[in-house]
Amino acid sequence: MKAAFYTLGCKVNQYETQIMEQRLKEAGYEIVPPDGFADVYIINSCTVTAESDRKTRQILRRLKAGNPKALAVLSGCFPQSSVERAKTIPEADIIAGTRERADICRLIKEALETGERVVSVSPFDKKEEYEPVRAEGFYGHTRAFVKIEDGCESYCSYCVIPYARGPVRSKLTDAIRDEISGLASNGFKEAVLVGINLSSYGKDCGLTLEDALRAACDTGIERVRLGSLEPNIITPSFIDCVVSLKKVCPHFHLALQSGCDATLHRMNRRYTTGRFREAVLSLREAIPGCAITTDIIVGFPGETDEDFEKSLTFAREMSFSQAHVFPYSKRAGTKAAAMPEQVAKTEKARRSRLMIETCAESRRLFLQSHVGKTIPVLFETASDRVFDGFAPDYAPVKVKTDDDLKGKIKDTIITGCDSDACLGSVN
Ligand code: SF4
């Protein structure tokens, strides 16, 4: 039997697709690319925004139109956060929650044998255990995403993730060391530690993110990168730990969401712009030249023109290496969805444009700052003799060469940059 995966959303979802692929392979399935013919299609869905829901529905419709006899599995955060909404999608033959990944083979077998729709979405248990899984590889990737934490209990007022992912649970440090050692011996050079709320790592078992970092670095892997972090994790002991571990990449993705304290308060974010500034300045002081990237929501309910101006000014002051800008997306069941003063779509678009333009300038300066330097780049993909890779600070680098650089870390002289990457040459 041939199986194909569509993965939407975050790095955790990509890791979980890897785990499901491993399970299906062990069960004798052949994994084929999603645009090819398959007997079973698995959509590992995301539900962070209305747009991700729309994409999930569109993929299912298209798949079934192109291959009506195939089995379509809707799995992941969409059905887990709302099984009733998932059931309204006629193309979904199997509906499985985020807790049912381990059962994927059994659910497919049941649907094939009965010819009936299978729905298996169970609620989280307060004492939910961390699912003991281990990635052996990361098909089609050069950097391996390693999930070490699941769940979130922060309940930011705009976010449905806590409902789709349940309570915080963490992978123990021995398992982290074991998994990353395996990936290193399988040729991976970089491990990216990811979680639903990575900053909550260890909250359930008396460990800290520093413990996880030490375990990850105590392996043959050459680079360890951190996924998205909450600003409050940036403490003197965290910084001391990062500085002491040479394999940790000098790139910190700190989710800001808004540069206005009144908006942060309505978002139920647990820090102020003052605390965020302190985190950024202490990182830049301890690790000169480190990259700070971020996420910013514009058009949150109640965000006035003045509030937005404050957010824009703060983003300019922080001079991010890169910023992902999102227009606020109303999610059913969240506190923010019921808030008054929802911002008009056109106004959200205008604010997105302005925030993107503002952050593009600091991005340009960040790329420019590499010119003339020699930096170790991990090359990942290639087209027409042009290899693309990332520096430790996550600056994208392009090199034109006849040598095969894929999967290699090479010292690269940065000679210039274009609109979205540094350009370089390898000796
Ligand atoms: S920290 Fe907030 S935004 Fe992030 S997953 Fe948790 S609730 Fe959502």
**b/e code 43-81 from CB counts within 10 Å (16+ = b):** bbbbbbbeebbebbbebbeebbeeeeebbbbbbbbbbbb
Give the number of the atom of ligand 1 that is nearest the alpha carbon of residue 228.
4
Is 129 a member of any domain?
A: no
- Percentage with pLDDT > 90 across the chain: 93
Distance (Å) from CA 58 to ligand 1 centroid: 26
155 DSSP assignment: -
Distance (Å) from CA 199 to ligand 1 centroid: 10
The CATH number that applies at residue 378 is: 2.40.50
126 pLDDT tier (thresholds 50, 70, 90): confident
**Interatomic CA distance for residues 5 and 28, integer angstroms:** 16
273, 220: one domain: yes
Q: Given this model, what pLDDT does residue 128 score? A: 83
Is 55 a member of any domain?
A: yes
Distance (Å) from CA 228 to ligand 1 centroid: 10
Q: Given this model, what pLDDT does residue 134 score? A: 93
137 pLDDT tier (thresholds 50, 70, 90): confident
Distance (Å) from CA 383 to ligand 1 centroid: 37
Is 234 a member of any domain?
A: yes
215, 329: one domain: yes
Rounded to an integer, the average pLDDT of 215-221 is 98
**b/e code 84-99 from CB counts within 10 Å (16+ = b):** eebeebebbbbbbbbb
Is 417 a member of any domain?
A: yes
98, 235: one domain: no
Is 270 a member of any domain?
A: yes
| pLDDT tens by residue, 59-71 | 999 999 999 999 9
Q: Given this model, what pLDDT does residue 373 score? A: 97
| pLDDT tens by residue, 361-370 | 999 999 999 9
Closest residue by CA, ligand 1 atom 8:
159
Ligand 1 is surrounded, with C-beta below 6 A, by 152, 154-156, 159, 161-162, 196-197
Q: Tell me how crowded residue 194 is: count the other CB atoms within 10 A of its CB.
A: 21
317, 235: one domain: yes
287, 328: one domain: yes
Site to substitute for ligand 1 among 49, 154, 334, most atoms within 8 A of C-beta:
154
169, 284: one domain: yes
231, 343: one domain: yes
Distance (Å) from CA 155 to ligand 1 centroid: 6
| pLDDT tens by residue, 399-410 | 999 999 999 999
Residue 341, pLDDT above cutoff 80:
yes
Residue 139, pLDDT above cutoff 80:
no
132 pLDDT tier (thresholds 50, 70, 90): confident
List the alpha helices (DSSP H) in 168-266: 173-185, 209-217, 236-244, 261-266
Say which residue the tokens 């398959």 belong to.
38
265, 346: one domain: yes
pTM over 0.85: yes
**Residue 156: closest CA among 69, 61, 230, 62:** 230
Site to substitute for ligand 1 among 12, 47, 161, most atoms within 8 A of C-beta:
161
Distance (Å) from CA 380 to ligand 1 centroid: 30
Distance (Å) from CA 157 to ligand 1 centroid: 9
| pLDDT tens by residue, 266-324 | 999 999 999 999 999 999 999 999 999 999 999 999 999 999 999 999 999 999 999 99
| pLDDT tens by residue, 70-99 | 999 999 999 999 999 999 999 999 999 999
Give the list of residues 6+ apart from residue 281 with CB closer than 8 angstroms, or none: none
Closest residue by CA, ligand 1 atom 4:
197
The CATH number that applies at residue 168 is: 3.80.30.20
The total number of structural domains in the chain stands at 3
Closest residue by CA, ligand 1 atom 5:
161
**Residue 196: closest CA among 228, 225, 218:** 228
Average pLDDT taken over every residue of the chain = 96
The CATH number that applies at residue 59 is: 3.40.50.12160
Give the number of the atom of ligand 1 that is nearest the alpha carbon of residue 162.
7
Query: What residue numbers bound the domain in which 302 lies?
Result: 143-366
